[in-house]
Amino acid sequence: MGEAAVEIVKPRTDTREYRRIVLRNSLSVLLIRDPDTDKAAVSMDVSVGSFSDPEDFPGLAHFLEHMLFYASEKYPLEDSYSKYIAENFTARKGHGGSTNAFTSSEHTNYFFDVNSDCFEEALDRFAQFFVKPLMSADATTREIKAVDSENQKNLLSDAWRMNQLRKHISAEGHPYHKFSTGNWDTLEVKPKEKGLDTRQELIKFYKEHYSANLMHLVVYTKDSLDKIQNLVENKFQEVQNKDRSKFHIPGQPCTSEHVQILVKTVPIKQGHKLRVIWPITPSIHNYKEGPCRYLGHLIGHEGEGSLFYILKTLGWATSLSAGEGDWTLKFSFFEVVIDLTDAGQEHMQDIVGLLFKYISLLQETGVCSWIFDELSAICEIAFHYQDKIPPIDYVVNVSSNMQIYPPEDWLVGSSLPSKFSPDLIRKVLDKLAPENVRIFWESRNFEGHTDMVEPWYGTAYSIEKITASMIQQWMLAAPNEHLHLPASNAFIPTDLSLKDVQEKAKFPVLLRKSSYSTLWYKPDTMFSTPKAYVKIDFNCPFATSSPEADVLTGIFTQLLMDHLNEYAYYAQVACLYYAINHTDSGFQVAVIGYNHKLWNLLKTVVEKIANFEVKPDRFLVIKEMITKGYQNLKFQQPYQQALRYCSLILQDNTWPWMDGLEVIPHLEADDLAKFVPMLLSRAFLECYIAGNIEPKEAESMILHIEDIFYSGARPICQPLFPSQYLTNRVIKLDKGMSYFYPAKGLNPSDENSALVHYIQVHRDDFLPNVKLQLFALIAKQPAFHQLRSVEQLGYITVLMQSNYSGIQGVQFIVQSTAKGPGHIDSRIEEFLKMFESKLYAMSEDEFKSNVNALIDMKLEKHKNLREESGFYWREINDGTLKFDRREAEVAALKTLTQKDLTDFFNEHIKVGAPRKKTLSVRVYGGQRTSEYEEEMNEPNQPDWVKIDDIFKFRKSQPLYGSFKGCHGHVKL
């Protein structure tokens, strides 16, 4: 075993300790000690990916990634690894269990996180993936179905379809050309036809490719480096070193026949997209010079004089991005991706001409050292003041870097361009030539005008050859607009000092309250970073008064962002982010980033709102964009459709998207011009300011904003009447009743069906909260194991808590092509019956272990200002204002008995419980229309009611009290 003395470059603010070791079997390891972490995390990156798939077995590397989770010789019980992690994990907000993996072209990455006291056994179980995994014949057959379900989920996704099309139009013998996910046909049917045994091929692939010398391990804990080192040596020394070489990639996948082409293709969703691609030398070989970062920054710029600014002014584009796309060590692509308007779709040649004119401008003006220096300065500040992220994300990032960069740059990666090399930048720029281009043009307009079909996803396309002289003609014919380089960036922070705030408040305090606004304030007492977080919610009663008002408010927020874009883009480049979002109660302004120039940006945003003017040409562009957004909702995954229906049924005073789609064609610029003054005429501002800002600064910001909106002889806004404060009311389901809402999938071509099985439990309160959370924690992994691994109902199988405006519940979410939603509903009920006996059989030690895991979860510290502020903002936004929620729920957990949990289950969750309240939303895929018709004709049972009309149902039900809108309850 060796230990390297190379010094690993780390951020100035990083207090973690790092040690690099290489085990005797050549497995490379980075040990990280963080005494402040609540969790341990591990990632193993294996230099084997889908490029290594045998010709007969597309998807085998990805399938192997699935199979390693099942069992090992040392731990032969199926799924025991996932069960152990799930029972001892600290869940990331909004996600399932903290163990996962992914397969890319050259790598497969496995990772987990766990509470520190359970780390040693978890690490041992994880290590067995790479020592002696078991792959039973039964599990192999079942998991092929899971891979097939995963692929079914992707079949109607434009991102997957277009990615495979770009791969398809490349050299057939090149690994880039392959299909990498796998499906039932490639992993079961075709192998059997050829007399191949999938399980044997899986074992052979594992033995042939998984070798210690191709593995990089990152281990992150609070323990001493010596202790971690001993553990790692002990657990991973048995991983065999077969001294394998990395997969050899045979150069560029695009030959002369795959460049100078225009590919017209038909997407699933509405909208037009232009993707202009050039094969280039990978810039990873020159990551300190960063040639693609420099060129991507300029070609993708959105300030005045940029390519996007010109295309936007002409009304031809709604977004543009540029930079290095797919890359490996041997080949890479530079991509410019442009979302087109309907008008832009008619001007493709002009747009490509303007792009090449901008590239010519870059060649004529030469490479500018001041632009590189500015970029370099921004990158350096971002690196040294980066936020801490969850350990599980950190270890994945670092283990992926270990395969690519020398040890000193494992943490830095490509994030610090520091060597100015005009020659290297020019070399890449010279590659962005007409002779080398691949243009992919997506539009539903091409339906019926294509002559080829991509075999894996069924994407229709056609190919035309284009020549350099044609592109020269397009350049000459393109509009003669004034393209120029960006100005210097005034938003780069120069004052990164920390404010010395005397009041070290643990929770947000109500700093100021008036009839116009409330200001919640929380200084940074945790992160010592020169950043701030500002949210201002404009609560406007007129925003929710009708579907028209709802749509107009959305157009208003989009137009504001559109007006501000060329100014605020510079702030974004300097890591100062803002957004104006449409909300359920009006709209919200958010500004997050370095505090030094934050007020400059916020002030401009607020002034733009106050002085809003409708530009008719931009109104039409935004209206078109929002219309397509509404139309594309029907292409959402069926489980997303089911969640949308569930929300519509439960949340009072919400409008269905179909109403928006109906009203938007009739709205004109004049309607918005009349609406905005009315929207703003009555408003209340709910504000939260946190981070590196003093209380007086925070107050003066809000005073200034109040002054803009509420002062003068004819103020823009007036305060709300007490009757106008907006509430969040949720439908109260009847006790002992099960409701179901059947719906056809909105896209008849999608064969996936979905079910959301929702159990409504209680209004937010600490003791019932922790009972529900404990149930969800204990049931999560068994539900996944039974419904997905054993029964193979579908790749998407989730049990999670739900919170509708403070009304707590739990929901099962399953998406499937194998079974219909009615059948899945019955299987969930069977699972709950099975789980009931497990709950009764649980030992006291097991119960205590789960309680302690939940306590650890609650005591987990926030990683950064954004995460902390998000937690407190949720309390403000919901109106619950329980800033000490975690501490109070820990106290409640410590009083909880096993009987409390079983009583809770028997009352609220158990099948047939007299107080149970259930809502099943069933979305039927294209192949299950007859099942839907049968369900629609079924008569209601006494305790099993079909919802025929969502709005009649909403009106017939009682409502829970609202936490939000009780303005008088907030005391200074």
Are the beta carbons of 780 and 626 closer than 8 angstroms?
no
- Name the active-site residue from 65, 201, 289, 302: 65
State the Cα–Cα distance between residues 507 and 520, nearest whole angstrom: 10
Residue 305 has a CB neighbour count (10 Å cut-off) of: 17
Residue 958: alpha-carbon gap to chain centroid: 35
Nearest to 626 by CA among 561, 702, 576: 561
**Residue 65 bears catalytic tag:** yes
Question: Where would I find the H helices in 813-928?
Answer: 821-841, 844-859, 865-878, 885-894, 898-904
State the Cα–Cα distance between residues 836 and 847, nearest whole angstrom: 14
State the Cα–Cα distance between residues 950 and 98, nearest whole angstrom: 36
Q: 439-457: buried (b, 16+ CB within 10 Å) or exposed (e) per residue? A: bbbbbeebeeebeeebebb
Contacts for 470 with CB less than 8 Å, ≥ 6 apart: 434
What are phi and psi for residue 883, nearest 5 degrees?
Answer: -65, -25
Question: How far is it between the farthest Cα atoms of the chain?
Answer: 86
- One-character DSSP codes across 258-323: GSSEEEEE--SSSSEEEEEEEEE--GGGGTTT-HHHHHHHHHT--STTSHHHHHHHTT-EEEEEEE
The token duo for 849 is 């272990």
The token duo for 52 is 């290594």
- Name the active-site residue from 78, 143, 201, 624: 143
Question: Where would I find the H helices in 880-956?
Answer: 885-894, 898-904, 929-937, 950-956
E-strand ranges in 383-469 read 438-442, 452-453, 460-465
Place of tokens 């500015």: 374
What are phi and psi for residue 649, nearest 5 degrees?
Answer: -70, -40
Place of tokens 């059997």: 192
State the Cα–Cα distance between residues 813 and 815, nearest whole angstrom: 7
Identify the H or E element spanning 600: helix 598-610
**Residue 106 bears catalytic tag:** no
β-strand partners of 509: 521
Residue 928, classed as helix, strand or coil, is helix
- One-character DSSP codes across 88-127: T--PPTT---SEEEEE-SS-EEEEEEEEGGGHHHHHHHHH
- One-character DSSP codes across 693-713: --HHHHHHHHHHHHHHHH-SS
State the Cα–Cα distance between residues 616 and 593, nearest whole angstrom: 33
Nearest to 122 by CA among 144, 140, 104, 98: 98
* Distance spanning both ends of the chain, measured CA to CA: 62
The amino acid sitting at 15 is T
What are phi and psi for residue 333, nearest 5 degrees?
Answer: -135, 135
The token duo for 626 is 């929002």
State the Cα–Cα distance between residues 62 and 446, nearest whole angstrom: 33
Burial class (CB in 10 A: 0-12, 13-18, 19+), 880: middle
The amino acid sitting at 67 is M
Question: Where would I find the H helices in 539-597?
Answer: 547-573
List residues with catalytic annotation: 65, 143
